């Protein structure tokens, strides 16, 4: 599924790390929110997480190290990972990494 249907999209982007990560918020009829975003090639970023997150990689390749894990793992198109509440993860984008992030 390459798109979300029957949703609202917030016009203003979320810009992180000087534009190395950019997302737009998508609102669903049930009141939940996701973001669709992209991380620029070569970026090495650490995200602090409040609410639990599910990150689905929709294109690209990245190494991800979740706080508490001993090593990084490689994620590619179609893979996903969970991050616990009040935690963090490091992500290293090999190319442009598109993702969908779900909260809660």
Which C-beta is closer to its own copies: that of 69 or that of 95?
95
The residues that touch its own copies, with contacts defined as CB under 8 A, are: 1-13, 15, 18-20, 22, 24, 26-27, 36-38, 40, 58-59, 96, 98, 100
CB 51 within 8 A of CB 102: no
CA nearest to 99, candidates 31, 28, 14, 32: 14
Dihedral (C-alpha) 10, 89, 72, 102: value to the nearest 10 degrees? -40
Residue 98 CB, shortest distance to its own copies, in Å, is 5
Residue 103 CB, shortest distance to its own copies, in Å, is 16
């Amino acid at each position: 599924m390459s798109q979300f249907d029957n949703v609202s999209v917030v016009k203003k982007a979320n810009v992180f790390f000087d534009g190395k990560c950019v997302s737009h918020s998508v609102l669903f009829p049930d009141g939940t929110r996701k973001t669709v975003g992209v991380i620029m090639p070569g970026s090495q970023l650490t995200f602090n997480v409040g609410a639990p997150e599910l990150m689905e990689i929709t294109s690209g390749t990245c190494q991800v190290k979740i706080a508490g894990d001993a090593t990084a793992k490689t994620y590619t198109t179609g893979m996903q990972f969970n991050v616990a509440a009040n935690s963090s993860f490091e992500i290293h984008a090999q190319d442009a990494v598109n993702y969908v992030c779900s909260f809660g």
